[in-house]
Amino acid sequence: MNWWKNLKGKVKLNEPLSKHTSFRIGAEAEFFIEPSNIDDLKRLISYIKKQKAKLLIIGSGSNILAPDNKMDAVVARLNSAHFRKISSNRNFINVGSGFPLGRLVRFALNNKLSGLEFLMGLPGTVGGALVMNAGAGKKSIGDLVAQITVMDYNGRIKIIRKKDINFGYRVSGLGKYIILGARLKLKHKEKSLIRQELKKYIDYRRSTQELGLPSAGCIFKNPKNKSAGKLIDLCALKGKHVGGAYVSLKHANFILNKANASAKDVLKLKALIEKKVKSKFGITLKPEIKIWQ
Ligand code: EPU
């Protein structure tokens, strides 16, 4: 029986993950599924449980390195209209996990709501940003969360309040759930002032990061009170490459897919960086990207 015939959403077989990752790297996933709504997602989860299959959730794939070999897994993207709803109520925004961050920033601006400006220019979806507590500088999306709606891997829906979430630097502890949506608490502000802030963030990002080539943003987390980019730069690794994977000349914490890089190229370059930084500074860099196997 083709179990997926019971699903209402889109189902693709042997879908190349390179089409769904900002790195543009990754072989096929056996199943690539976009559930149409909550019930559809529940059906998918019950199948996964029965079959003991592997389920991976993908947002816009901006922080993922997918492997060069076909994945024997179900990759699900919460991209249907149901998971991309947004509304505002006083100084709160309710947003679905599949909603793109860039559009969230614009929605907040149009509603004269401030707080999300630092996300300007960050790729990704709300769900992905919450799981990794995405941010820039000292600001992270977790700071703005009032509550989050999730589904556990038994298909049960739960509301988790901010105080019960362990948001830290690029961590949330939410990875054990499927995030359905969030309620964010913002502040009213004049549009012109929000625009000024947005410009500041986008200008900084443009001047310091290479945004034109496929990458997954920063590869490593910043060690406490240090910048991973600076440490890698001080090891004179800018421009270093393995196959088609290059350390960016503009920001050393970015690996760029310049010429059909494979996941293996990226991993080798990543290991080389780790080794150099460890031997020069005695610091062990920790990956920020999620490495799928
Ligand atoms: N620096 C260098 N050489 C480099 C890169 C940076 O000397 O090649 C220096 C900079 O001059 C600066 C310091 O290192 O003095 C910090 O650099 P930057 O301001 O670019 O910030 P970052 O800590 O490297 C963080 C986030 C970025 C976010 C920027 C902008 C992490 C790991 N990275 O980078 O997020 O865009 O701040 O605010 O937290 C990402 O999450 O994917 C990401 C790129």
pLDDT tens sequence across 219-271:
999 999 999 999 999 999 999 999 999 999 999 999 999 999 999 999 999 99
CA distance 293 to 286: 17
Task: Give residues with Cβ within 8 angstroms of 279, minimum separation 6.
Answer: none
Q: Compute the residue count for the chain.
A: 293
pLDDT at 1 over 90: no
Q: What spacing in Å lies between the alpha carbon of 144 and ligand 1's midpoint?
A: 22
Per-residue pLDDT, 293? 93
Q: How far is the CA of 254 from the centre of ligand 1 (A)?
A: 9
Residue whose CB lies within 8 A of the most ligand 1 atoms, among 63, 230, 288, for a mutation test: 230
* Closest to 84 (Cα-Cα) out of 117, 35, 47: 35
pLDDT at residue 254 in the model: 98
Q: Return the DSSP state at 70.
A: P
Band (pLDDT 50/70/90 cuts) for residue 177 is: very high
Torsion of CA 177, 180, 183, 188, to 10 degrees: 120
Q: Which pLDDT score, from 0 to 100, does residue 3 have?
A: 85
Q: Which atom of ligand 1 is nearest to the CA of 232?
A: 8
What integer pLDDT is reported at residue 222 of this predicted model?
Answer: 96
Mean pLDDT of the chain: 96
**pTM of the model as a whole:** 0.95
Average pLDDT value for residue range 14-33: 98
Instruction: Report pLDDT for 241.
Output: 98
Give residue 222 CA to ligand 1 midpoint distance, Å.
8
For residue 137, is pLDDT > 90?
Answer: no
* CA 70–ligand 1 middle distance (angstroms): 33
What is the C-alpha separation between 145 and 48, in angstroms, rounded?
A: 30
Q: Look at residue 238 in the predicted model and tell me its pLDDT.
A: 98
The residues annotated as belonging to the active site are: 170, 218, 288
Task: List the residue whose alpha carbon is closest to atom 24 of ligand 1.
Answer: 229
Give the model confidence (pLDDT) of 186-198 as tens digits: 999 999 999 999 9
For residue 201, the model assigns a pLDDT of 95
What is the mean predicted confidence (pLDDT) over 154-159? 96
From 169, 231, 253, mutation site for ligand 1 pocket: most ligand atoms within 8 A of C-beta: 253
Three-class SS state of 173: coil
Measured in degrees and rounded to the nearest 5, phi and psi for residue 184 equal -110, 140
Name the residue with the closest Cα to ligand 1, atom 3.
230
Binned at pLDDT 50, 70 and 90, residue 75 comes out as very high
Using a pLDDT cut of 70, give the percent of the chain over it: 100
Residues within a 6 A CB radius of ligand 1: 136-137, 205, 208, 217-218, 221-222, 227-230, 233, 251-253, 288
* Atom number, ligand 1, closest to the C-alpha of residue 288: 32
What was the pLDDT predicted at 2? Answer: 86
